[in-house]
Structure 1
Amino acid sequence: MPDDLLRHVIGPTPYSAWWLWTAVALTAALVLWYVGVFVLTKPGRRLRDVPLVGAARDVAIRHRAVRAVREIGDRYRGGELEAAPAAAAVSREVRRFLNRVTGAPAEYMQLADIPRSEIAAAATLLENLVDVQFNAASELDVARVGRDAEELIRSWT
């Protein structure tokens, strides 16, 4: 074989650096995924205990609860709901909010147990809602109690 043909023989083409960085990024994403799954599903750890996720979760729950209470108030003021069903719906939303934010079984607690629990700040509002719901002679305004419920939800810490 003549020596002048050796200049046409070359080695293998090297890999592009793009493939290396893609492999590094995918490996890092996989490791982060497994760390995230481990941290978020660790037994005994709640989602609200994770700093950034817990704060975002609480804000979303708060906005959803305020919107639901406001819609109930709008339906009451529009004449679609009577006082008792409106009070029951607001009570249900407030208790659901308290359960999700604090973890207390607010949806199942009796009024006598609430002042001795971690949701004691909501005791007066829940008593007013029960009064409107079950007392036909109640002089409480459902719209006002609904605004109080919105304020409680917004200011809950």
Structure 2
Amino acid sequence: MPASNFASATTPPELPGEVLPLVGYSPFWLWLGIALVAVIALYYLLVWVFTRDRGEDTAPEPEAEVDVDAARIEAFWRVDDIERRARAGELDDRSAYEQLSATIREFVADATGVPADHMTLADLSRTQLHGTTRTVAQLYPGIFAPEAQRDVAAATRDARAVISGWN
């Protein structure tokens, strides 16, 4: 006899699998997570403690007083020496221009504290050292051009003018 519709309606349908009760996570994972967060927080705390400003009042050392007169005398001596060696043929024009430029830049750096001896001409032109910039710029063709365009005597006069202009 055929199964009646009544019988199939009263039997529950079969479930696709077995339903298991809920299972909680192991407390190990919770404690591991808390420990990791604590280790990271401790790391940042230690970095902050060991790298913060301790508040030690260290007064900056006073800058050494520059003896401009002594620096000027030294620079004049170097210019005179460059001019003498260029006239004697011990220095070619290019080397004389290079040494004059270095002498001017070093004197200005000593006298003002502006690192003119380490600046490019473009950097130097952005300072208030207009006379120095102009004189150094006039020396550049003698240093970098294939042929010198000025005589060393005129360049030494300009170098002396820059050096004597500082008080």
Q: What's the TM-score, normalizing by structure 1?
A: 0.64
The residue that corresponds to 1:45 in the other structure is: 62
The correspondence of residues 40-119 of structure 1 with structure 2, limited to 5 A, is: 43-48=60-65, 54=66, 57-119=67-129
> Partner of 1:90: helix, strand, or coil?
helix
Distance in 1 separating the partners of 2:165 and 2:145: 28
After superposition, the C-alpha distances for 1:122-141 in whole angstroms (9 at most, x for unaligned) are: 11110111110111233211
Give unmatched runs, 5+ long, in structure 2.
Answer: 1-58
After superposition, the C-alpha distances for 1:70-97 in whole angstroms (9 at most, x for unaligned) are: 1101100111110001111111111110
Alignment coverage as a number of residue pairs:
109
Equivalent residue letter for 1:93: T
Distance in 2 separating the partners of 1:121 and 1:150: 12
Distance in 1 separating the partners of 2:70 and 2:100: 18
The correspondence of residues 121-132 of structure 1 with structure 2, limited to 5 A, is: 121-132=131-142
Bigger Rg, which one: 2
Equivalent residue letter for 1:91: S
1:145 aligns with 2:155: yes
Contact 2:141–2:149, Cα closer than 8 Å, also in 1: no
Distance in 1 separating the partners of 2:120 and 2:108: 14
Q: Identity percentage over the alignment? A: 31
The correspondence of residues 7-46 of structure 1 with structure 2, limited to 5 A, is: 43-46=60-63
> Partner of 2:122: helix, strand, or coil?
coil
Equivalent residue letter for 1:43: P
Equivalent residue letter for 1:120: H
Report the aligned-residue RMSD: 1.5
Equivalent residue letter for 2:63: R
> Partner of 2:86: helix, strand, or coil?
helix
- The range that moved more, 84-93 or 116-125, is 116-125
Distance in 2 separating the partners of 1:136 and 1:70: 25
Q: Where has structure 1 moved over 4 Å in runs of 4 or more?
A: none
Distance in 2 separating the partners of 1:83 and 1:67: 18
Distance in 1 separating the partners of 2:61 and 2:130: 25
